[in-house]
Structure 1
Amino acid sequence: MTETSAAKLFRDLGHPVRVRILEALLAGEKNVGELMEALGGMSQGRVSTHLT
């Protein structure tokens, strides 16, 4: 991993919601609705924002 890619990874995981999304996805593939549920009913817009 280069310094640039490592910096991007840490930047991308710099928000707690993104870490929670990653944890949910480590258990298996999920669609946005399933992620919303896994994140305690978080809104679709908020989940989608962190996926882009």
Structure 2
Amino acid sequence: MGLDDCARETRGLAAVVADPDASYDARLTAACGRVEAAVESWSSWSARCRNAP
């Protein structure tokens, strides 16, 4: 995943957060998980690039 993927997932999270009915439902938990996975994936890719010879 790249930075664009992180941004897309973050926009998706923002859309769920804006829905008053989603404050305590599975959609919010799922959206948070997708953002977390995207950021972790990007972070590990970025670290590998910085450490490459």
- Shared fold by TM > 0.5? no
Larger Rg: 2
| Larger helix proportion of the pair | 2
TM-score bracket, shorter-length normalisation: 0.3 to 0.5
Give the TM-score normalised by structure 1: 0.35
Asked which structure has the greater RCO (Cα within 8 Å, sep 6+), the reply is 2
Give the TM-score normalised by structure 2: 0.35
